[in-house]
Chain A
């Protein structure tokens, strides 16, 4: 049962993610998670302040339902399909994280240094999560998609704009992981 309760192999995971996209295409829809953020803004009345949010959000109900399902899926996988073995990291990565004061997984999906309730209550911890969210929301809408819309859907359809966007994801990601994270976490 390790095959289900442990970490799923990358080939199985990747194949199933590719299939998710193809199933959505079969149902006449396109695969993209970040557009739900726009729909939610629109539902909250953001159309009063920007035409970008003047849309009939009811047409996007199917996508919000996917989000709802994804939340339930996360709950099921976490509570019923896990043996608590957690993320198996490269020992070098663990040493490197230690030098930044970031705890090793030890059965967790996320480090306490970023996501524990104590971190959340510190101004710095709160700011990191909020700024991360702002960059994700602003960046994905500006680029017109995220990992699902560009890296999976767009590249699967051999779209040049998606390749440019994915190159951007990596420029930003490498900049953050190699140069900014050490500055952000060293000072604590």
Chain B
């Protein structure tokens, strides 16, 4: 079954983020207060691994699992959407201490209050869909 591998990647990701405590409100709070290196170490190491990996893929023109050349999607150019959207997300991230991945993972740890954050995030996405034509991008 093709989807099984994605399920396993998800399980792996959920375990790693929980054990790294990247799903913890406390870790996000101390990160934004620059009181611990923990989160910066995680993001820095992930980036270091990612940059080397992607450079290798590009230099060696590696092929993916299906034998196709790997094409990494470039982000659209722009400024306002990234700075405004990013700031709004940052406000939410520091308030409830979770980004979208951890919202799902925390549901698995049995924190039912996170369901409210999840519903809010769905509503927020929906509101963006309604307003996007009126927003600067």
- Chain A residues close to B by CB (< 8 Å): 4, 7-8, 10-11, 13-30, 33-34, 36-38, 40-41, 44, 46, 49-50, 52-53, 61-63, 65-78, 81-82, 87, 89-90, 92-93, 96-97, 105, 109-111, 114-117, 119-120, 125-126, 128-148, 150-162, 164-178, 180-181, 184
Out of A128, A154, A174, name the residue touching B75 (CB < 8 Å): A154
1/0 per residue B76-102: CB within 8 Å of A?
A: 111101111111111111111111110
CB-contacts of B43-87 with A (<8 A) = 43-51, 53-54, 57, 64-66, 68, 70, 72-79, 81-87
Which residue of chain A has the shortest Cβ distance to B25 in the bound complex? A110
- Contact call B100/A139, Cβ cutoff below 8 A: no
Instruction: For chain B, give the interface size range.
Output: 35 or more
Q: A20 to B20: give the CA distance in the assembly, Å.
A: 14
A-B contact pairs, 7 of them (CB 8 A): A125-B113, A142-B85, A142-B132, A162-B75, A165-B82, A168-B88, A175-B91
- For the complex, what is the distance from the CA of A115 to the CA of B89, rounded to whole Å? 19
Which B-chain residue is minimally distant from A46 (CB atoms)? B126
Least CB separation from A76: chain B residue: B15
A-contacting residues of B (Cβ < 8 Å)? Answer: 2-3, 5-33, 35-39, 41-51, 53-54, 57, 64-66, 68, 70, 72-79, 81-101, 103-114, 116-130, 132, 135
Q: Which of A11, A13, A135, A137 contacts B19 (CB under 8 A)?
A: A13
Shortest beta-carbon distance, B83 to chain A, in Å? 5
On chain B, the residues within 8 Å of A15 by CB distance are 45-46, 49
Task: Judge whether A141 and B36 touch: CB under 8 Å.
Answer: no
* Cα-based distance from A147 to B27 in the complex (angstroms): 14
In the bound complex, CA of A4 to CA of B33 (Å):
28
Q: Which residues of A contact B120 (CB under 8 A)?
A: 129-137
- The listed residue (B10, B16, B48, B87) touching A172 by CB distance below 8 A is B87
Q: Which residue of B lies closest to A49 (CB)?
A: B130
In the assembled complex, which residues on chain A have CB atoms less than 8 Å from the CB atom of B91? 135, 139, 172-173, 175-176, 180
Give min CB distance, A69 to chain B, whole Å.
Answer: 2
Among candidates B9, B101, B126, residue contacting A24 with C-beta atoms closer than 8 Å: B9
Contacts of B124 in A (CB 8 A): 37, 133-139, 141
Q: A73 vs B6: C-alpha distance in the bound complex, in angstroms?
A: 12
Please name all residues of chain B whose beta carbon is closer than 8 Å to the beta carbon of A162 when the two chains form the complex: 75, 82
Given the known interface contacts A146-B101, A173-B32, the answer about A133 and B119 at a Cβ–Cβ threshold of 8 Å is yes
B54 touches A143 (CB 8 A): no
Inter-chain contacts of B12 with A (CB < 8 A): 16, 20, 69, 73
| CB pair A37 B49 closer than 8 Å | no
Q: B112: which A residues are within 8 A, CB to CB?
A: 117, 120
Q: A74-B17, A134-B124 are in contact. List 13 more A-B contacts (CB 8 A).
A: A7-B20, A18-B49, A66-B7, A72-B7, A73-B10, A128-B96, A133-B116, A136-B96, A136-B120, A142-B85, A142-B88, A143-B85, A175-B87
